[in-house]
Structure 1
Amino acid sequence: MLAAMTHASTPDLLVLHAVRVTGIADGAAVSRRAGIDRDTVDELLPDFEAYGWVTHVEFAGTGGWTLTERGRAEDTRKLAGELAESGARATVEQAHKAFEVLNGRLVQACTDWQLRPAEGARLASNDHSDPEWDARVLGELTLIGGELRALVDDLTGALARFGGYDERFSAALGRARGGEGQWVAGVGIASCHAVWMELHEDLLSTLGLARGAEA
């Protein structure tokens, strides 16, 4: 059951939640992820830091904003209020159930991209020398992407902030098909796996569920 009208989230929720789902991000990345102009992001993040919701960290020559425990609690409070106000709980719960079904397939596809069992070496790395193996994995990811599109369409019918996951997944898959294999499950880029993990965190946090609680 879809909400009667798509709900638009407030800028402060979008920015705070963008920090949560990305884990750590600089202002530019938060702006892109939240769909909020950079000036607004640069005004909000120092305020959030003053409230104790975010902190800026530096690691191995890179830095970014990350959520504190107080910030996580505040984001959870804002999400719960938005979910009640929008009447979108049933839609998000239905999408979460559909996501769980797809999740096993996505995890297996990413595993198959990284590993190709051989005789006597069940955990042998995939050296991508078998084009049929890789084509099968990419084909499965393409099917998953199509189902993801339908799932995101349902979600955005209720909460506009869920838009874009399918497009980002498709963009990463396109790069992988073009020969950039790291875009399937690479770390530090918006790979298929990274986008999928962000959506997982988004669904769980929106419903107030702890990771690992589904099963």
Structure 2
Amino acid sequence: MSHTSPLEHRVLHAVRTMGYAATARVAARTHAPVDLVAEQLLDAEAHGWVTLTSFAGDAGWSLTESGKAHGELLLAAELDATGARAAVEAAHREFLRHNDPVAAACTAWQLADLGVGERTPSVAATTTALQAPAAALAGIERRLTAHLARFSGYHERFTSALQRARAQPAWITATDRDSCHRVWFELHEDLIATLGLSR
């Protein structure tokens, strides 16, 4: 049976994987009411695990080094308690087989946006390059969620971004939305945080 992580763990982990996020986005990612998530974030702030930064009318939470270390301890304990380590390690290996093609497609697109690429890739070529990783992600997520429910949603978010990208290319790498690059980056961060690895 798939394990559901406690809300306080999911909130801290959501901040880790997203890097910087407003309370409402953390709530959306953890599928929890905003008021409960706000309480968890304030509690985490009191422990020194997260910090709230405001700039030009925008405010968001980010993880401190202490919060990162604490979160990794929680994740390691969860892996051992659920017996999920082998499954997550296998999923990580499968993920890495598709990481280079995704990184190459997204980097080429970003360079073209900046006007520094050797050639401008087409939307069709870029989205085609992301189709195989999208298909593989379904199986990766299925194996992960068989043990840990918090891994759900990555495949749907990635494929949704890929579909939108065909008409609106910003969905390939934009940072202001759940773009293909952003979703893939967050899953990578989720896996390495869970396994206590570094990029």
1:196 aligns with 2:190: no
Q: Deviations over 1:86-138 (max 9, x none)?
A: 1000000000001111001111222343457xxxx982352x6xxxx432221
How big is the shift at 1:188?
Answer: 2.4
- Equivalent position amino acid for 2:47 in 1: Y
Deviation of the 1:59 alpha carbon = 2.7
Q: List alignment gaps of at least 5 residues for structure 2.
A: none
Aligned to 2:135: 146
- 1:32-53: CA deviations, max 9, x gaps? 1112221210111111111111
Matches within 5 A, 1:102-121: 102-114=98-110
Q: What is the root-mean-square deviation of aligned Cα atoms in Å?
A: 1.7
Looking at structure 1, the residues matched to 70 and 119 of structure 2 have their Cα atoms a distance apart, in angstroms, of 42
Query: Is the Cα contact below 8 Å between 1:114 and 1:125 reproduced in 2?
Result: no
1:100 to 83, 96, 100: 96
What is the aligned partner in structure 2 of residue 46 from structure 1? 42
Amino acid at match of 1:204: I
Instruction: Give the conservation status (yes or no) of the 8 Å contact 1:185–1:191.
Output: yes
Contact 1:165 1:199 in 2 (8 A): yes
Indicate the structure (1 or 2) with the bigger Cα radius of gyration: 1
Count of aligned pairs: 197
Give the corresponding residue for 2:150. Answer: 161
Paired letter, 2:143: D
Provide the TM-score with structure 2 as the length reference: 0.93
Question: SS at the partner of 2:141?
Answer: helix
Identity of aligned residues (%): 46
The residue that corresponds to 2:16 in the other structure is: 20
Question: Matches of 1:37 and 1:87 in 2, distance apart?
Answer: 29
Letter in 2 for 1:109: A
Structure 1: gaps spanning 5 or more residues: none
2:19 and 2:110 mapped to 1: Cα distance? 24
Question: What's 1:171 paired with?
Answer: 160
Q: Among 203, 206, 210, which residue is 2:194 paired with? A: 206
Tell me the TM-score normalized by structure 1.
Answer: 0.86
Would you say the 8 A contact 1:168–1:190 is kept in 2? yes
State whether structure 2 residue 54 is matched by structure 1 residue 66: no
User: What is the rounded CA distance, in whole Å, between the counterparts of 2:119 and 2:49 in structure 1?
Assistant: 41
Tell me which stretches of 4 or more aligned residues in structure 1 moved more than 2 Å: 111-116, 121-126
